[in-house]
Chains A and B, each alone.
Chain A
Amino acid sequence: MKRRYVLTFPPEIVDEPITYNLIRNYDLKINILKAEINPGKEGNLLLEFESEKANLDKGINYLEEKNIACLPIEAKIRFDQQACIHCGSCTAVCFSRALTMHKLSWELIFEPEKCVACGLCVKACPLELFHLDF
């Protein structure tokens, strides 16, 4: 299975090779989609994991032991779907195609699992309905 998570590193752990340990010890296939690591400061990492569920659970346990917050990407994006008027402006800038228009209903489809947290939709939405916590 493939899942995207945002890892938030407390400042004291930023210099540890966490990603290496996840790959080496839990056999997780990892794709780094976005990273913000600053020594001495909190860091964020958007990872796509591909693995058996059991291994992924063990990996997440390891992260929790290390005090690294590990949240599915959808928990990091807030989108006020109720207020959306389906204008489609956000689909112009969403190059990971997490935001698309339904070809028949012309309503916005948001698939957070495709999101790469680039944040372009935050500025593109004229109603300011997207908030990205990264």
Chain B
Amino acid sequence: MPKSWNATYSTSGELSPLLNDPELRTIGIGTRIFLGGAQGYVSWNGTQFNTSVPKNTSGIPKSNSATIAVIGDLKKMHTDFIKAGYFEKYGVSIFIGIGIPIPLLDEEMAAFVSIQNEQIETTVFDYGSPEHTTMGTTNYKDLQSGEIQINGKKIRTAPLSSISKARTIAGELRKWISNKEFYLTEPVQLFPTKTSLNKLNIKGE
């Protein structure tokens, strides 16, 4: 809504797999995952994958960073975890449930997966302006409280990805693993490090 009437946010914060393995030590090409209610795989790094984003003191990137490309068998998926969506003035999209098991290999991984919402900081952009102007920073504890403060103004917040579904997926994946229906894999290859995005510079008219 115009004039900073509301702010929306994505990911389930402290439950988001990529934020629980910010160094991408266990998530890489070939990692077996929960995908839309079936088993699938991480196939590559995703669109706008960027590992050069500055990290905060908890080791979490301060803005959009790692993304993944995934592959799976649509016929084995369940409509509880895959839905077509349409965003007004944006276009067709998809809601797909993804769960990634993260093995606790050592103390560092244990520390990473214990991340709390208040340690996950992110940048607030104004998507109403053509340049997507940076308005300030916030964290997921504040975002999930329903209200953030930007430049002294209180702004209502709303999620765009389902936190209740994320919990269902985490529980489901846990069940699969303990029932020995799902086996953890080591990545075939780790994601590239120090990648960045090139800006599209528009030259002249």
Contacts and interface: CB of A to CB of B under 8 A. Distances in A.
Interface string A105-121: 11100000000000000
A20 B84 CA distance: 48
Nearest to B9: A88
A53 interface: no
B105 interface: no
B76 to A, nearest CB: 20
Interface stretch (A59-67, A68-76, A123-131): A123-131
Contacts of A91: 158-159
A87 interface: yes
B158 A89 contact: yes
A92 B95 contact: no
A66 to B, nearest CB: 38
B95 A87 contact: yes
A126 B146 CA distance: 20
B158 A126 contact: no
7 contacts: A87-B162, A89-B158, A92-B8, A103-B146, A106-B167, A126-B93, A126-B95
Interface of A: 85-89, 91-93, 101, 103, 105-107, 123-124, 126-128
Given A87-B160, A101-B159, 18 more contacts: A86-B162, A86-B165, A87-B95, A87-B165, A88-B162, A89-B8, A89-B158, A89-B159, A91-B158, A92-B156, A92-B158, A92-B160, A93-B1, A93-B6, A101-B146, A106-B163, A126-B85, A126-B87
